[in-house]
Amino acid sequence: MAREKRPLEDSTKDSMPEEKRQRPALANVIVEAVKMDNIQKLCSTLEPLLRRVVGEEVERALARFTPPKVGVRSSLKRIQGPDHRSLRLQFRNKLALPLFTGSKVEGEQGSTIHVVLVDANNGQVVTAGPEAVAKLDLVVLEGDFAADDEENWSQEEFENAEVRERDGKRPLLTGDLTVILKDGVGALGELTFTDNSSWIRSRKFRLGVKISSGFCEGLRIREAKTEAFTVKDHRGELYKKHYPPALGDEVWRLDKIGKDGAFHKRLNQSGIQTVEDFLRLVVMDPQRLRNILGNGMSNKMWEGTVEHAKTCVLSGKLYVYYADDKQNIGVIFNNIFQLMGLIADGSYMSVDSLSDNEKVYVDKLVKVAYENWESVVEYDGEALIGVQPYPVKGIDSHTEEPINGTGPRNAYTQGPSHVQQQAALPSSQSGAMHQQHSSTSSSGATGSGWYPLRLNVGP
């Protein structure tokens, strides 16, 4: 019996070491766990980096094989300049409209057109850095480009909107087609359109400006565009407004007055043919002029027309109205009948130097002069020589009232010798009078002091 049990015991003993070898040791388990944890941490660390690298490579590949719009997002990212600035070009002033083929492209009222480089984050002009001295190219754009005030166009979209000349035609835009920034500011030179805008889809152009190739590489600077405008054939220039207008220009050259329109006809019927006629009535009787134009001209239109007329350059003619036949006292007007000063006993006083009492008297004399303008003496400015610029005494509100119609007849009816016998201003004083007109005219653009009858008389 014992012999039969021994093989069983031997087999059991032989099997025990084998089972023990199959069980993992505790140390091995710990080591494996640490390894797995380290691998997971490493993957967590690398995952964002790998995602970014893969994303950039995919985006670059797509940009080469897809339409421009797919690259808009990338362009928007690259618009950020150094120090997170958002750089863009801007036109500082508007164009003078309308534009005609063959005519110079100018800013409003004949000003030079300027382009500036600004940081859109704060609106400040960028004056330092290589981008502040970059070279710019001027181009013509479709009139409907970014018509919905879309600001964040891409470079590809801007260039796709550029307009070329028609087949067989000269370059659409000629002249100085490049601008060099200086401290972030550039001035446009002479530009001329050679063709009208009637042949393109929108029938309008825009002027655009962009960074020239080879400048600011790798930096996105958004291009600039003007408002949409129409370019007409030069034949339409016959109806063009003048900035500034000339005294002899027909009155329809003023803003808001169309040639052969209702306002033009009303003015002509009232004897107002030229800009000079218009300005004279603005000075002498603005309410009458306002009534002639009628209710069809709004207050805003009226202000715009008068402001345009006031930019006119005056001639050197002067007019004097004397209070009596002795010609001791008289008031001096410029050629649009605006009061310039007082002349008495060979002395001259400007309007600003008059006392309150003197202003009362002069105000009365001015009114009489306007009612008896046929008695005003016309001078040639240079003919007024010899008057001393001393203060005039003894003129106040109690001085004898001027008598209507007692002044001398117009100098042209009495011959040139009469003009030479008149007392006159020295040339320096005459120049001062013209300078006084300029300052009065410019300041009067926004105030009532421009009209001679509105003297500020004290209590």
> Residue 357, Cβ neighbours under 10 Å: how many?
15
Alpha-carbon distances, residue 154 vs 83, 93, 158 (angstroms):
21, 24, 6
Tell me which amino acid residue 52 is: R
Burial of 284 (0-12, 13-18, 19+ CB in 10 A): buried
CA angle 228, 232, 234 (to 5 degrees): 145
The answer to whether 266 touches 292, Cβ cutoff 8 Å, is yes
Closest CA to 179 of 191, 195, 167: 191
Instruction: Output the six-digit token pair for 19.
Output: 């089972």
Instruction: Output the six-digit token pair for 27.
Output: 């140390």
In sequence order, what are the beta bridge partners of 333?
Answer: 319, 339
The answer to whether 139 touches 212, Cβ cutoff 8 Å, is no
The answer to whether 320 touches 331, Cβ cutoff 8 Å, is yes
The answer to whether 221 touches 231, Cβ cutoff 8 Å, is no
The answer to whether 92 touches 227, Cβ cutoff 8 Å, is no
CA–CA separation, 375 and 46 (whole Å): 99
Dihedrals phi, psi of 419, to nearest 5 degrees: -65, -40
Q: Please provide the size of the chain in residues.
A: 459
The pLDDT of residue 389 is 45
Tens of pLDDT along the chain (459 residues) come to 445 545 544 544 454 555 445 555 666 666 676 677 667 766 666 666 566 566 666 666 665 555 544 344 444 444 455 556 789 999 999 998 889 898 899 998 788 999 999 998 898 999 999 999 999 999 999 999 987 666 789 999 999 999 999 998 899 999 999 999 999 999 999 999 999 999 999 999 999 999 999 998 889 999 999 999 999 887 766 677 888 899 999 999 999 999 889 999 999 999 999 999 999 999 999 999 999 999 999 999 999 999 999 998 888 788 999 988 888 889 999 989 999 888 888 788 888 888 888 889 999 999 999 999 888 888 866 555 444 444 433 344 344 444 444 443 333 333 333 333 333 333 334 444 444 444 443 333 333 333 333 333 233
Global model pTM greater than 0.75: no
CA–CA separation, 232 and 100 (whole Å): 5
Q: 299-310 and 275-284 helices cross at what angle (nearest 10)? A: 110
SS (H, E, C) the chain: CHHHHHHHHHHHHHHHHHHHHHCCCHHHHHHHHHHHHHHHHHHHHHHHHHHHHHHHHHHHHHHHHCCHHHHHHHHHHHCECHHHCEEEEEECCCECCCEECCCECCEHHHCCCEEEEEECCCCEECCCCHHHHCEEEEEEEECCCCCCCCCCCCHHHHHHCECCCCCCCCCCEEECCEEECECCEEECCCEEECCCCCCCCCCCEEEEEEECCCCCCCCCCECEECCCECEECHHHHHHCCCCCCCCCCEHHHCCCCCCCCHHHHHHHHCCCCEHHHHHHHHHHCHHHHHHHHCCCCCHHHHHHHHHHHHCCCCCCCEEEEECCCCCCEEEEEECCCCEEEEEECCEEEEHHHCCHHHHHHHHHHHHHHHHCHHHCEEECCCCCCECECCCCCCCCCCCCCCCCCCCCCCHHHHCHHHHHCCCECCHHHHHHHHHHHHHHHHHCCCCHHHCCCCCCCCC
In sequence order, what are the beta bridge partners of 354?
Answer: none
